[in-house]
Structure 1
Amino acid sequence: MDVRVRGPGPEAPILGARDLFETERTLKRPVTVEIREDPDERTRVSHDEESHLFVISQQAATSAMARELALHEFAHMHHYERDHPSHTQSMEEVIFLALAGRSVERRKLTHCYQIANHMKDIYADDVWLEVAPADKLVPFLESSLAAAVADRPRDPPAWDRLTPAADPDITAVNAAFALGLVERHDLVDDDHRIYDLAHAAAQDAPEIDVASFTRRFRTLARDPGDSEYRKALVDVTRAYATGGERAAD
């Protein structure tokens, strides 16, 4: 893998992630990693036909999660190069298929894009968790969810992964994502604190069936075809945007 790092930050976590990733996978296209001082954007990846650009904040690059963040983004690049359905499916098409003829709040449409990103993240995590332990991932998910639950607004206004001060509905789905991920990879015991946090998030969003969304994330097909993935994304989009999750199950 051709990975080049530039900017005001350490190369070691990025290159260490590259070396780990190469034990199981590889990337055909070169990767340019830009470490930037802007603390508001933790990571961002863009692609073209020749290369990948991975932007990471200086704060993230010097954090304890730097290697894991790089592994996660390398996994996204891997799926992009191989035209994985989660990375090629048009969300605009999904919105049309799931919600044509329906009236949906703008905030819920925005949340649907975040849910699609969660599904992409599930598949990226499937890749990098094959090559590195999840000992830092679980505390990261736990602390992010705790912040989201604690900082929820009193009156919900009309990604990072788990967004503080989020609308309670999407916070509940974020909790389901965290549970689905840790259960998919058997990362926690049944009495782990993350379940208490998810329960608190569910209490704040009684219209969201956290258990059902957890199941959707946990049981995503390991190697889906295009139509199978499209159906899964259409179903979860419709369930969230129309409030039909409990009725559907």
Structure 2
Amino acid sequence: MDIRVLGPGPTSPFLSARDLFETEHDLSLPVHVQLRDDPDERTWAAHYDDRHVLNISRQAASSAMARELALHEFAHMARHEQEHPSHTQSTEEVLYLALAGKSVERRKLSHCYQIANHMKDIYADDITLSVGPGEKLLSFLESGLAAAVADRPETPSRPGLQRLSASADPEITAVNAAFALALAERHDLVDEDHRLYDLAYAAAMDAPEVDFEEFKRRFRELAREPDASTYRQVLVDATRSYVGGGATRAAD
């Protein structure tokens, strides 16, 4: 596996991630690591005919999660080379199939893309967690979910009313919580008394219109090697479930 770090910055996290990755997998194309100055730049992978590119901020590359972030992106690259349905299925096609003739809020459409990305991440992390430990990933999921529910007010603004995840859109926060818990359960990362359960159920309580348990089941029980048709239908069903009553029939 050929990896090249472009520009000044740490190299050891990427080389360490490569060594872990190569215990079970390999990539046909070289990987170019592009270190970016923007500390808010999220880590993401791009794919070209002759290479993969791992985009990551210098800050993230110097963090305690750097190796795990790199390993996760290597896993996405592997799924891309495998032409896994989760990484070849067009989200736009799924939205057309799921929502044809319906009018949907823009924010809900953006959330549907996030649901598709969660499914991609499940399949990438099936690889990630087959070659590396899950403790840091679990801590990452826990801290992210804790941040989403951290703004819960001390006292309700009205009797019986208490928002549990005021800092973020509660509906997609509930789906994100379902994803985090599903991934942890899929790979046996948590005991039944782990704090992640309390955080996830707090997020779920703030969005009763989202079927939290159903989304957790959808994510956790994704077939390991689905065919393209099966995967497309799973994503169509998840999209319809999330949009639910929020979609209305478009005018003719």
Determine the structure 1 residue equivalent to 2:203: 201
Evaluate the alpha carbon distance shift between residue 20 and residue 239 of structure 1 in structure 2; reply closer, same or farther with a 3 A threshold: same
Q: Report how many aligned residue pairs link the two structures.
A: 236
Determine the structure 1 residue equivalent to 2:47: 47
Query: Shift of residue 8 of structure 1?
Result: 3.2
Determine the structure 2 residue equivalent to 1:28: 28
Determine the structure 1 residue equivalent to 2:239: 237
User: What is the alpha-carbon distance in structure 2 between the residues aligned to residue 149 and residue 110 of structure 1?
Assistant: 21
Determine the structure 2 residue equivalent to 1:134: 134
Evaluate the alpha carbon distance shift between residue 15 and residue 243 of structure 1 in structure 2; reply closer, same or farther with a 3 A threshold: farther
User: What is the alpha-carbon distance in structure 2 between the residues aligned to residue 193 and residue 103 of structure 1?
Assistant: 38
User: What is the alpha-carbon distance in structure 2 between the residues aligned to residue 2 and residue 151 of structure 1?
Assistant: 44
| SS of corresponding position for 1:56 | strand
Is 1:105 the equivalent of 2:105?
A: yes
| SS of corresponding position for 2:56 | strand
Is 1:149 the equivalent of 2:170?
A: no
User: What is the alpha-carbon distance in structure 2 between the residues aligned to residue 230 and residue 152 of structure 1?
Assistant: 37
Determine the structure 2 residue equivalent to 1:159: none
Identity percentage over the alignment? 69
User: What is the alpha-carbon distance in structure 1 between the residues aligned to residue 166 and residue 10 of structure 2?
Assistant: 28
Query: Shift of residue 152 of structure 1?
Result: 7.5
Determine the structure 2 residue equivalent to 1:6: 6
| SS of corresponding position for 1:77 | helix
Determine the structure 2 residue equivalent to 1:114: 114
1:172-220, Cα deviation, whole Å (9 max, x unpaired): 0000000110010010001100000011101111101111100000000
User: What is the alpha-carbon distance in structure 1 between the residues aligned to residue 91 and residue 131 of structure 2?
Assistant: 30
1:199-246, Cα deviation, whole Å (9 max, x unpaired): 1101111101111100000000000100010010000011001249xx
| SS of corresponding position for 1:136 | helix
Determine the structure 1 residue equivalent to 2:159: none
User: What is the alpha-carbon distance in structure 2 between the residues aligned to residue 183 and residue 173 of structure 1?
Assistant: 15
| Counterpart among 221, 225, 229 of residue 227 in structure 2 | 225
Letter in 2 for 1:87: H
| SS of corresponding position for 1:173 | helix
| Counterpart among 192, 195, 218 of residue 194 in structure 2 | 192
Higher deviation after alignment, 115-124 or 7-16: 7-16
Evaluate the alpha carbon distance shift between residue 222 and residue 164 of structure 1 in structure 2; reply closer, same or farther with a 3 A threshold: farther
Determine the structure 1 residue equivalent to 2:161: none
User: What is the alpha-carbon distance in structure 2 between the residues aligned to residue 225 and residue 31 of structure 1?
Assistant: 27
Unaligned runs of 5+ in 2: 157-164, 247-252
Larger Rg: 2
Determine the structure 1 residue equivalent to 2:175: 173
Evaluate the alpha carbon distance shift between residue 204 and residue 90 of structure 1 in structure 2; reply closer, same or farther with a 3 A threshold: same
| SS of corresponding position for 1:53 | strand
Letter in 1 for 2:180: A
TM normalised by structure 1 equals 0.91
| SS of corresponding position for 2:176 | helix
Query: Shift of residue 164 of structure 1?
Result: 9.4
User: What is the alpha-carbon distance in structure 2 between the residues aligned to residue 121 and residue 44 of structure 1?
Assistant: 12
Query: Shift of residue 49 of structure 1?
Result: 1.1
Letter in 2 for 1:35: L
